[in-house]
Amino acid sequence: MSRPQVELTEAEWTIIKAVWDAEPCAAPMIQETLFKTTQWTYSTVRTLMDRMVAKGILTADKVKNLTLYRSAVTREQAQQGELLYALKHAFNGALTPMVQCLIDSKDLSTDELAKLESLIKERKKSAKK
């Protein structure tokens, strides 16, 4: 069974990246980690994390008087959700213009181009006719 598409807000991306780097973790630790770049208070971080639990993005386990958070989605799931969102909204679901835009916006090395060609060849082999 496939998981539903994950769409994260900018604030949720900030939180989940910190959680991925430190899980299991408590909200005070995440707040301290992010404070220099976000200036978020503990209550802001805790509210965001609790909302992410409600959305199924994080899990929370109460251990005595401490709540430990873990990610409920992988980096790959979050990245895929972000790409599918962009594909749907910025490119009206058209994959070729999206890939063209990505290729045109970055200087790709010959190794990166070879890897892309290899991925396409593998996908062609496995595609149903």
pTM of the predicted protein model: 0.81
In the chain, the N- to C-terminal Cα span, in Å, equals 24
For the stretch 34-92, pLDDT in tens is: 999 999 999 999 999 999 999 999 999 999 999 999 999 999 999 999 999 999 999 99
- What is the per-residue pLDDT across 5-15, written as a single tens digit (0 to 9) for each? 788 999 999 99
Do 33 and 18 contact (CB within 8 A), yes or no?
yes
Query: What is the per-residue DSSP string for 91-112?
Result: STT-HHHHHHHHHHTS---HHH
Distance of CA 106 to the CA centre of its chain: 21
